[in-house]
Amino acid sequence: MRTRFFLLVVALLISLKSYSFDDMHFYVPDFPPYTQLDFDGSPSGIGTDAVKQVLDVMDVRYTITVSSNHGRALQEVRKQQSDGFFMASQNSDRDTYAEFSEPLMSNRWVWIIRQENGRNFTPYDSTFKKQSTVASLLNTNTHRWLKVNGYPSIHAATSVTELKDKLDSGAVTAILIAEMTFLDTVSETDDYEIILEQEKAFGMYISKHFLSNNPGFMSKLNRAIRVYREQ
């Protein structure tokens, strides 16, 4: 009788485990308006709000630390100090340590140039690449894209204000950045031309280490994301 009771308890625990997941900790970049700290130091932003809705539906317990940039967020996942990060677009470096979710939203990558330089802006031309200095935010996917696509002179900034100042002074010819991140800091855009480079899926990265200990999590996360997008 005791043996049957013990087996029943074990089966129950296994069943419950299959429907519940470990508590999660996310280390996310300071990347307004998607992820940032509000006035009382709490995680906020349109990306944070979206992720909270998804995780709450899944009944997942989680904490969020907002600091630094996407490079540090990936490093924390690699060191197994974080279970994931958001908001992010996909690249092969991130894919090494984490799995990319279905998108919660889209992210427009845009070139920002001075209006007076608009007629001569040819970002894919080999001469432009050789003679111009371009800029992006440090360790973002736009920064990586510039390096991968053969721009030899890149200024990696730590803030949008720094990027704007470099562009206004002529130190850089163009900025490649998430459009909403630029507009969150720069409200007066009459002096600039904004040119779409590409639109990217924007989602979550979940640590492969976490997923190995929580089978079924990714499929449930993606189902919850689909429900969120359909709202």
What pLDDT, in 10s, does the model give residues 104-150? 999 999 999 999 999 999 999 999 999 999 999 999 999 999 999 99
Query: Crossing angle of helices 217-230/46-57, nearest 10°?
Result: 120
Q: How many percent of the chain have pLDDT more than 90? A: 90
Same domain, 80 and 188: no
Q: Is 231 helix (H, G, I), strand (E, B) or coil?
A: coil
Segment 35-53, tens digit of pLDDT: 999 999 999 999 999 999 9
Segment 177-225, tens digit of pLDDT: 999 999 999 999 999 999 999 999 999 999 999 999 999 999 999 999 9
Same domain, 146 and 214: no
pLDDT of residue 15: 38
Same domain, 86 and 170: no
Same domain, 6 and 102: yes
- CA separation for the pair 21, 16 (Å, rounded): 9
Same domain, 86 and 115: no
pLDDT of residue 37: 98
User: Domain total for the chain?
Assistant: 2
Same domain, 141 and 60: no
pLDDT of residue 7: 43
Same domain, 179 and 115: yes
Whether the predicted pLDDT of 32 surpasses 60: yes
Same domain, 98 and 210: yes
Segment 56-81, tens digit of pLDDT: 999 999 999 999 999 999 999 999 99
Helix (H) or strand (E) holding 224: helix 217-230
With 0-12 CB in 10 A as exposed, 13-18 as middle and 19+ as buried, what is 149?
exposed
Task: Copy the structure tokens of residue 170.
Answer: 């002529």
Whether the predicted pLDDT of 19 surpasses 80: no
Same domain, 191 and 119: yes
Length of the chain: 231
Q: Is 186 helix (H, G, I), strand (E, B) or coil?
A: coil
Same domain, 10 and 101: yes
Same domain, 8 and 99: yes
Whether the predicted pLDDT of 25 surpasses 50: yes
Same domain, 120 and 66: no
Whether the predicted pLDDT of 9 surpasses 50: no
User: Higher-confidence residue: 231 or 28?
Assistant: 28
20 band by pLDDT with thresholds 50, 70 and 90: confident
pLDDT of residue 2: 53
Give the domain range for residue 69: 2-106+201-230
pLDDT of residue 142: 98
Cβ partners under 8 Å of residue 74, min gap 6: 85, 93, 94, 97, 98, 139, 205
The CATH number assigned to the domain holding 212 equals 3.40.190.10
